[in-house]
Chain A
Amino acid sequence: MIQADSLVYEYTRYDEEGRETDVTRAVDQVSLDIKKGDFVAILGHNGSGKSTLAKHMNAILTPTGGTMWVDGKDTKEEENIWEVRQSAGMVFQNPDNQIIGTVVEEDVGFGPENMGVPTKEIWERVEESLKAVKMLKYRHHSPNKLSGGQKQRVAIAGVVAMHPQCIVLDEPTAMLDPNGRREVIRTVRALNHVEEITVILITHYMEEVIYADKVIVMDQGRIVMKGTPREIFSQVEKLKSYRLDVPQATLLAYELKKAGVKLPDGILTREELVEELCRLS
């Protein structure tokens, strides 16, 4: 679905006369292959290059070196841009910057309308997308009055209505309260499971990563770790060295192990921890 081969992206700064002054390599020789239907989480500290990489997945940015293919299409080719953007939709951190309609259903219909979808089909798509994010009963509401989690789900519906094969979410829960965070993550998991949409989730909340099929850790523009959540979160010290963290249950298990309790590696959820502790005694 999404493939990168030695992808490089460099930001170039210029002085007042237009001379090159400084080059920063934000993404450095990244190769990856994300399969259709996968749920992939990308972790990395602020400035590690994960958002820059994500922006390549729907051709907001194009590589300065190497190649990115979305659904087999090279994003560097100008004529592929529309198809790439239809294949991979993006959701950003702040829902207020993504909602443009004054009524929920109009906002969701904006994407397909822009693609030239016939009116009747637009309404069908709006309805099914709002249903998929469990916001159908708010279709006639003003987005202004919704909670953060609801707004973010409307933003996701707006992407779903364009029938993408893949959704890239760049810290979709950073501004939300605990309930909003739960709503959005539940929605994303359902889209992946039920609709079989490929999901790429960028987040700083380790708890949200537990359900991913694969986790990619980035540092200084490179991929430094790759594996299942269990494999990744078994390496507490290494993650900390990349300015990251582990889920609370994993951290507690790690602390207990340090104190001499015999627990296995890779505990991710509180249910697993409780179960393992019960087994001990």
Chain B
Amino acid sequence: MSIKLEHVNYIYSPETAYEIHALRDVNLEIGQGEFIGLIGHTGSGKSTLVQHLNGLVKATDGHVYFHGEDIYAHGYDMKKLRSRVGLVFQYPEHQLFEVDVLSDVCFGPKNQGLSREEAEERAKEALQMVGLSEEFYKQSPFELSGGQKRRAAIAGVLAMEPEVLILDEPTAGLDPKGRDEILDQISALHREKKITIVLVSHSMEDVAKYVGRIVVMNQGEVMYDDTPREVFRHYKELEEVGLAAPQVTYMMHALKEKGFAVDEDATTIEEARDTILKSLRGRL
């Protein structure tokens, strides 16, 4: 177990006219090595929730534990927590600021107290992980393309060698190939480096394709917490809260209605293809 939330509530501007109860009694355990998708409509509490995971926002009440330790306990090392639980914000490229890509990625590890050489080594490794080769080291981060900027910003967090990596809509605004590249790289980090991943996304197709578990937020509460197949089985309820199931799930339901013996819980293109082929063989 790496992160545990117990009865977490968060209220913005309490006791004012602007009071918003953003999280309501959230209980959640994020196990080591998991790949979790966090979905919910705008304003459902996703971003507030992820900011609790590295102590950036302090719960109004409730507890957050990291490896069994209460992060709100007196004297808890928040700085260390933040380097172990890395958070990549929406549009992280807006936070690039250094003169060249390598220096920008070095900023985090240098701040952790590493020497210039160690920081550079970490930075180079992180840049390699996100697929930015040596030719980019000395380029200004501001001259990169959208997808490259995004990757440089993610490398900046990776260079701190976090155990948990939280990404808030890392593919918003990227072209389809850029989206696939970033998600494939995140998936490789999960597989090869055993990093725990929490992916906040508005794309049901991406979530279905990559994650092992989905947490659905609605009005500050956890609505569903299960495998993609189980969660997307509730597609009607998801639509009521502004979400949807992946396109293929709808196609499977339509085919089922027409009498095809397909697995209607298929959520990815591959699953859909296989189950359709199987049902066609049965019919022809």
Contact = CB atoms under 8 A, between A and B. Distances in A.
Q: What does DSSP make chain B's interface, helix, strand, loop or mixed?
A: helix
Interface stretch (B98-106, B112-120, B155-163, B171-179): B171-179
A34 interface: no
A244 interface: yes
Given A180-B42, A255-B273, A270 B175 contact: no
A195 B202 CA distance: 30
A270 B177 contact: no
B14 interface: no
B170 interface: no
11 contacts: A47-B146, A148-B42, A174-B172, A179-B243, A204-B174, A245-B176, A248-B246, A252-B248, A270-B251, A271-B254, A281-B283
A173 to B, nearest CB: 9
Contacts of A249: 247, 251
A184 to B, nearest CB: 12
A171 interface: yes
A48 B204 CA distance: 26
Given A176-B202, A259-B277, A277 B175 contact: no
B255 interface: yes
Contacts of A175: 172-173
A222 to B, nearest CB: 16
Interface of A: 44-48, 93, 147-149, 171, 174-181, 204, 206-207, 240, 243-245, 247-249, 251-252, 255-256, 259, 261, 270-271, 273-274, 277-278, 280-281
Given A45-B175, A259-B273, A176 B258 contact: no
B42 A204 contact: no
Contacts of B178: 45-46, 243
Interface string B239-252: 00011101110110
Contacts of B283: 281
Nearest to A183: B242
Interface string B200-243: 00101100000000000000000000000000000000000011
Given A178-B202, A270-B247, A274-B258, 7 more contacts: A46-B145, A174-B173, A204-B179, A244-B175, A251-B269, A261-B280, A270-B250
Contacts of A180: 41-42, 242
Contacts of B175: 44-46, 48, 204, 243-244
Nearest to A151: B42
Interface size class of chain B, counting residues whose CB lies under 8 Å from the partner chain: 35 or more
A252 to B, nearest CB: 5
Nearest 8 pairs between A and B by C-beta? A243-B177, A245-B176, A179-B242, A248-B247, A46-B146, A45-B175, A281-B283, A47-B145
Contacts of A240: 177
Contact of A274 (B179, B254, B280): B254
Contacts of A251: 269
A46 B151 CA distance: 13
Nearest to B284: A281
Contacts of B272: 252
B86 interface: no
A112 to B, nearest CB: 29
Contact of A147 (B42, B177, B204, B250): B42
Given A179-B41, A248-B247, A278 B269 contact: no
- Of A174, A271, A277, A278, chain B has the most CB atoms within 10 Å of the CB of A277
